[in-house]
Structure 1
């Protein structure tokens, strides 16, 4: 049960990182 919330937290962190990396890469001129 303790692993469930931990796994969700990790997924959320990865998603947040991906979202932050997406706009950052798109903002930069190619």
Structure 2
């Protein structure tokens, strides 16, 4: 059960990291 929480935590970090990359690419493209 703890391992599952840790896995979800890492998945959330990866998702946020990817989202930040897309957001920065979008911003640099428009500015």
TM-score by length of 2: 0.82
Residues matched between the structures, number: 29
User: Hey, which of these two has a bigger chunk of helix by percent?
Assistant: 2
Unaligned runs of at least 5 residues, structure 1? none
Deviation at 1:9, TM superposition (A): 0.3
Unaligned runs of at least 5 residues, structure 2? none
Deviation at 1:18, TM superposition (A): 0.1
Aligned-residue CA RMSD (Å): 0.7
Which aligned segments of 4 or more residues in structure 1 are displaced greater than 4 angstroms? none
